[in-house]
Amino acid sequence: MRRTDRLFDIIQILRDGKLHRAQDIADRLEVSVRTIYRDMDTLIASGVPVQGERGMGYMAVEAITLPPLTLTAAELEALNLGMAIVAEAADPDLKTAALSLADKIDAVLPTQTVAEADAWKFAVYPFADAARGFSHMPALRAAIKGRQKLRLSYRRIDGTLTERTIRPLHMEYWGRVWTLTAWCDLRDDFRVFRVDLIEEAAPLPELFVDEPGKTYADYLATMG
C-alpha cells in the first residue's frame, strides 16, 4: 500500500471518534506498529486533529470531516490557487490554516497527482504582491497545457522592458510570487520569469514539442 493511501485509510478509521490502538490499526492495514507510529506523527504534525500517544492509542478530536471527494485536475488547480491566495492574507490564522489545509490535501492525493500538485505548493521566499500576475494565469496555463509558444513583454526588476519568445514549461508559487519556467528563444537557454512582472503574454500560432535539452526535466537536471 502506498503511504498516501495508508494515511487516508488511517483518517477514515479514526473518523468514528473512538480510541484505536496502534496495534489494531497496524493489523487492519497489514503493516508494522512502528509504521503506524510514524504515520501518526506525520498526521499530527500536518494539523490533522488527532490526539494520542504511543502505547495508549489514538482518536480523532473535534473537527469538520468531509466525505471522500473526486476532484478533476481543474478543480484541484482551483483549490490550490485559492489556498495560495488565502495564504497572502495579513491574518496569520488564515495563513496558517491555508498551509495546514495544503498539507492535508497532499497527504491524501494519489501518487500520480502529487507531481502535478507540487507545481502549486508554498515556499518561503517573500516577493512583491502576486496578485499583479493573476490576469496572465489563464493564458500561461493554456499555453503550458497546449504546448504553445508565447510572446512575452517582460519588465525586469531594473525597469527595463524586454520582448521574448518562449516555450512555457512550468509555473510555481513561491510564497508571494508566481514564477514561470520557460525555454527562451532569445537566450537559447532556460529562463525563470516572475509572473507579476509580465506586461503581456500573447499566444503565438506556433506550437512546440519536447526536444532534448529543452524540457522541464532538462531544466531540473541543470539545477542538480
**pLDDT per residue as tens digits for the range 75-93:** 776 777 777 767 665 567 7
**pLDDT band of 11, cuts 50, 70, 90:** confident
C-alpha 128/C-alpha 201 separation (Å) is 19
H-only helix segments in the chain: 3-14, 22-29, 33-45, 73-86, 92-108, 111-117, 137-146, 216-222
Residues near 37 by beta carbon (within 8 Å), at least 6 away in sequence: 22, 54
Tell me phi and psi for residue 148, to 5 degrees: -115, 135
**pLDDT greater than 80 at residue 189:** yes
**pLDDT greater than 50 at residue 127:** no
Q: Work out the average pLDDT over 166-195.
A: 86
**pLDDT greater than 50 at residue 121:** no
Mean pLDDT score across all residues of the chain: 79
Q: Work out the average pLDDT over 44-55.
A: 79
Distance, CA of 167 to chain centre = 22
What local confidence, expressed as pLDDT, does residue 174 receive? Answer: 61
**pLDDT band of 188, cuts 50, 70, 90:** very high
